[in-house]
């Protein structure tokens, strides 16, 4: 999580810095915008990473459920049938 937060901050800072220099803005404005973009990028990457982790968790849970149902159906297909019990004798 820390790596994603740092990577998002760096990406936001770098993107805003490059955009500022390419637009020929003043260095103090570039630094201010880059600092804000650093915070925004870090928060955005953190949110995106939580979404990715949630989706991966759901995928693993679905895969486990599919494997369990496949194992149950395989066991049921190869089960030895048991003959029914003899009916009880009544008078």
Q: What is the pLDDT along the chain (91 residues), one digit of tens a residue?
A: 789 999 999 999 999 999 999 999 999 999 999 999 999 999 999 999 999 999 999 999 999 998 888 888 877 777 776 777 666 677 6
Residue 50 lies in a domain: yes
Residue 22 lies in a domain: yes
Residue 72 lies in a domain: no
Residue 17 lies in a domain: yes
Cβ contacts of 6 within 8 Å, gap of 6 or more: 42
Residue 2 lies in a domain: yes
| Report field, pTM of the whole predicted structure over 0.75 | no
Residue 43 lies in a domain: yes
Residue range(s) defining the domain that contains residue 41: 1-54
Residue 19 lies in a domain: yes
Q: For the chain, what is the domain count?
A: 1
């Amino acid at each position: 999580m820390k790596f994603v937060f740092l990577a998002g901050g760096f990406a936001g800072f770098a993107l805003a810095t490059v955009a500022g220099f390419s637009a020929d803005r003043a260095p103090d404005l570039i630094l201010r915008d880059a600092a804000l973009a650093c915070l925004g990028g870090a928060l955005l990457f953190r949110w995106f990473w939580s979404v990715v982790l949630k989706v991966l968790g759901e995928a693993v849970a679905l895969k486990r459920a599919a494997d369990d149902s496949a194992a149950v159906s395989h066991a049921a297909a190869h089960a030895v049938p048991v003959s029914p019990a003899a009916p009880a004798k009544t008078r």
